[in-house]
Every structure is written in C-alpha cells, then in structure tokens.
Amino acid sequence: MSFDFKTYLIQRQQQVEEALNHYLPAPTGAFAKIHEAMRYSVFAGGKRLRPLLCLASFEIFKDRLQEVLPTACAIELVHTYSLIHDDLPCMDNDDFRRGKPTNHKVFGEAMAVLAGDALLTLAFELITRAPILKPAMVVTAIRELAQVSGTTGLIGGQVQDLEAEGKTILPEQLQAIHLYKTAALLSGAVRLGGILGEANAKELKSLSHFGEKLGLSFQIIDDVLDVESTTEIMGKQTQKDFMKEKATYPALYGVERSRQMAKELYEEALVELKRFGRRVQALQALASLMINRQH
C-alpha cells in the first residue's frame, strides 16, 4: 500500500498539538500571566517541523510514540524560546511573527524574556517525562539538546550572525553561521529521534548528515524567501536581511544560485537515508515539504 503522507502529517501534527497542550502549564493561578505568554507563542501557528522530524526519525526504528513525544515537544519549546528572544528589540526587533504580534508586543519585554527562559527550562524537564525511557538514554538526550541549543549550536550561530552584520564574510563563515543557527537544532531533532529509537552509531551518523544538509538547505530557502516572498505570506516582515546587511546566501551568491545550492543539499540529504529502506518515507516527505515551503 502506498504511503499516505497527508493523513500521516495531520495525525502527527495533532499528536504534537495535544502533547504540547498537555505539557504546558495552565494559564491560571499565581503564574497565569507567564503561562499565558508561553502558550501564546507555542500556539501561534508554528509548522512543528522539528517535532515532526524527531517523530519521523524515531519511527524508522520503533512505533511507540509515547516514548518520543515529550522529547519532540521539548525541541519545539527550544525553537519557540529562540524565536521569542530573537524578536526582542535588543535582537532583531520584530513586531510580527506568524502574522501575529510578537510576544513582547503583547506581554512586554520583561515577560517575553521570562517566557523564553521558562520554555527553555521546561524543555529539559520534558525529556525526563517519558518514564519508560532508560535513564542513560534520558541523559544522552538531555546532552544532545543542550549541545544543539548552546554556543555549539543555536546560540553560537546567533552570536556569529550578529557579529557578521554589515561585514563581508567568507563563504565558509556563512555556511558555519547557518549550520549553527538553524541546522544544529533541525539535525538535533532528527538525531534525538534516532537516539530514542536506539539507532546504532552508523545509523546515527547518517541521520546527522541528513539533518545537517537538510537544515542548511532549509536556511538557504529561508534567506531566499526573505528576498522573494511577501510580508502577508511569511507572516513577518520580509527584506529584513537586506536592510540589516545580514550575511545570507542570496547576498553572497544571488537568488538563483542559492536555490540551486539548496536543491543540491536536499538531494545529498536524501542519499543519507538510503540505508534505511522503506521506513524513511515520512522523513523523506517531510524533507520535501520543508524545501518546497512557501512560508
């Protein structure tokens, strides 16, 4: 029977929404305000690509989704925290994300900082919430998420990105920024699925390469969309990279070559999945969705 990706996607997205709703604290009681701020950005319309990648990667090896759902949600919380903080006036200073006012526009800067911090903290707690996992696996998963979130990943990329503003940088520096700020967390999501699925070292290596290449390709497409798309479609201000003199692929290579590079990386990423046979259908379809996205 052929793989029905549309049905698969709807089901998994629903499972992720339900799990996130379950794990996020209720917007009531003494901490109603911050819980409301956390929930505002988590349920603002994100595509849930990172948890979906984590689930699809896990499903290459195992079926019991309850083992991986808390970790898949944890990655989404780290992603959401990074966007809240990135939108702050001291960073990218954005008023809109996903077509809605940014967190600090609704809750104020102090609460937005704290909501981001609280999501990041909750993420690590969530990984410990799958009681069926072996303790050693929980430790490995926590280390993995910390590494792709810290200066060896997301934060490191953001620092390099800020420092590159207004400067001419080398192609390898640009690639490093994109690998750190975007590909690390995406690849981490794929790797975490493999880790919890008990992939062996060789399998994990293939998943890492797949995630890195896909993540780099995804960020190149993001750069291109900032040039070619509109504020209405993206739900946030476009042309910002140009205005802030950001280091991007279109700035260095032009739009057409950037699209070509993204396509080549995507194809290279798919090659990494060959060893897994038919159980990679969901992961393959997700990769295609990510690279052909319009927003």
Establish if 159 lies at the interface with ligand GRG (CB under 6 A).
no
Q: Is 49 in the site for ligand GRG (CB under 6 A)?
A: yes
Q: Per-residue b/e over 196-221, b at no fewer than 16 CB within 10 Å?
A: bbebeeebbebbbbbbbbbbbbbbbb
CA 104/CA 121 separation, integer angstroms: 19
Q: Is 160 in the site for ligand GRG (CB under 6 A)?
A: no
Residue least distant from ligand GRG (Cβ): 46
Q: How far apart are the first and last CA of the chain?
A: 31
CB of 91 to ligand GRG, least distance (A): 6
Count of residues in contact with ligand GRG, rule CB under 6 A: 17
Q: Which among 145, 143, 134 is positioned nearest to 72, based on CA atoms?
A: 145
Between 133 and 186, whose beta carbon lies closer to ligand GRG?
A: 186
User: Residue 12 half-sphere exposure, CB side, CA atoms within 13 Å?
Assistant: 29
Residue number with CB closer to ligand GRG (71 or 158): 158
User: 226 to 285, contacts with ligand GRG by CB under 6 A?
Assistant: none
Q: For the beta carbon of residue 294, count every other beta carbon within 10 angstroms.
A: 7
Six token digits for residue 273: 């999945």
Nearer to ligand GRG, 133 or 177 (CB): 177
Q: Of residues 85, 104, 191, 259, which one binds ligand GRG by CB under 6 A? A: 85
Binding flag, residue 181, ligand GRG (CB under 6 A): yes
Q: Rounded to an integer, what distance in angstroms lies between the CA atom of residue 67 and that of residue 19?
A: 12
Provide, rounded to whole angstroms, the least separation between the CB of residue 81 and ligand GRG. 7
Question: Min. distance of Cβ 219 from ligand GRG in angstroms?
Answer: 6
The single residue among 41, 82, 175, 248 that binds ligand GRG, judged by CB under 6 A, is 82
CA-based nearest residue to 111, from 44, 25, 37, 39: 37
- Candidates 39, 42, 46, 122; binder of ligand GRG (CB under 6 A) is 46
Least gap, CB of 61 to ligand GRG (angstroms): 24
Residue spans of beta strands (DSSP E) within the chain: 96-97, 100-101
Q: With 0-12 CB in 10 A as exposed, 13-18 as middle and 19+ as buried, what is 283?
A: buried
Contact pattern from residue 53 through residue 72 relative to ligand GRG, giving x for each residue in contact according to CB under 6 A and a dash for the rest:
--------------------
Rule CB under 6 A: which residues touch ligand GRG?
Answer: 46-47, 49, 82, 85-86, 91, 98, 154-155, 157-158, 161, 181-182, 219, 222
